[in-house]
Amino acid sequence: MNARISARELYDQQLERLALRWVAGRGGASRVLEAVDTVARRPSLAGYLNIIYPNRVQILGTEELAWLDALDSRLRWETIEKIIQFRPLALVISKGQPCPEDLRIAAEENDTPLWISPRRGHELLNHLHYHLARKLAPRVTLHGVFMEIYSIGVLITGESGSGKSELALELVTRGHRLVADDAPEFTQIAPDVLDGTCPDLLQDLLEVRGLGVLNVRQMFGDTAVKRNKYLRLIVHLTQPSLQAEPGGIERITGDLGLRQVLDLDVPTIVLPVMPGRNLAVLTEAATRTHILRANGVDPAAAFMARHSHFLERGNAGDA
């Protein structure tokens, strides 16, 4: 299902921040903008008045209104008709400027939302474009527990009963933070960024078998939970019967891979769940190792280079 937003929702969400005032076209409150392919290209989600590639939300600043005023009456009316016929989600006049009467009439007759804001044009552009981009960005819900571990976002996945929630609870007691349990939502807010959040229904909650639903914020305090985090690593728990014994290079590098989430490949490490293994310590170690690799330090590669150098020295000595 495509993400979507109506004119009414956009107005309500930005009412206080942009001090919006609805002056005409209230009948268009249900007008909807959907996240379809054309949103990623021209026209833009929000921008200054554009007749060639009309933006989804058209902003009329001082220059745009002055340009309209410079047109003769016939051309001005034809231009206003074009603006309305493009069916923008809304028209927004910046800096609290008076609304031209002919524009107000046209918006009212065609149910085109027309708003006025005291904010400057570039403020409107930045806020509206950022807000719409996030609301309409590609998103997906994954099964797992999303945590902040050593300041990076780590998604713990695995089959039902593999111990994800117990591991998350132990990590929380070790000072890490819970973002979302069971169904974290991930939104691609930039070409290389996945932002993970928690559904409102599950906020602050962690379900542990035998204990039921726990409120992490009430148990451990406000610092034990986090509202959102960028996804950087996936730790996948697997039962030994489902995982072949690692051998060869995996014994050195670990069981590393990539998992595609939306359009991004996220680094993944597989941890077998076996009696006696401290998964919290292993998850912390996996996170620290990922941070080292991201900074250009790879212990496995350094060991293999050291081993090759040792063999070369031995061969040189034999010669």
Long-range Cβ contacts of 272-277 (<8 Å, 24+ apart): 272/238, 272/239, 272/240, 272/243, 273/158, 273/162, 273/163, 273/237, 273/238, 273/239, 273/240, 274/240
**Could you tell me which of 158, 119, 129 has the C-alpha nearest to residue 15?**
119
Neighbours of 206 (CB within 10 A): 25
Report which residue type is found at 28.
Answer: G
Q: How far out from the chain centre does Cα 249 lie?
A: 35
Neighbours of 182 (CB within 10 A): 18
Out of 4, 87, 120, 143, the active site residue is: 143
Neighbours of 301 (CB within 10 A): 12
d(CA 83, CA 100) in angstroms, rounded, equals 14
Out of 129, 131, 139, 164, the active site residue is: 164
Cα dist from 19 to 13, 25, 28, 30, 130, whole Å: 11, 18, 19, 20, 17
Contact (CB, 8 A) for 176 and 206? no
Out of 182, 229, 232, 236, the active site residue is: 182
251 catalytic per annotation: yes
d(CA 181, CA 197) in angstroms, rounded, equals 10
127 catalytic per annotation: no
135 catalytic per annotation: no
Out of 82, 227, 251, 277, the active site residue is: 251
d(CA 1, CA 35) in angstroms, rounded, equals 10
d(CA 141, CA 138) in angstroms, rounded, equals 11
2 CB contacts (<8 Å, ≥6 apart)?
Answer: 34, 35, 36
Calculate Rg over the CA atoms of the chain: 27
Residues designated catalytic: 143, 164, 182, 251
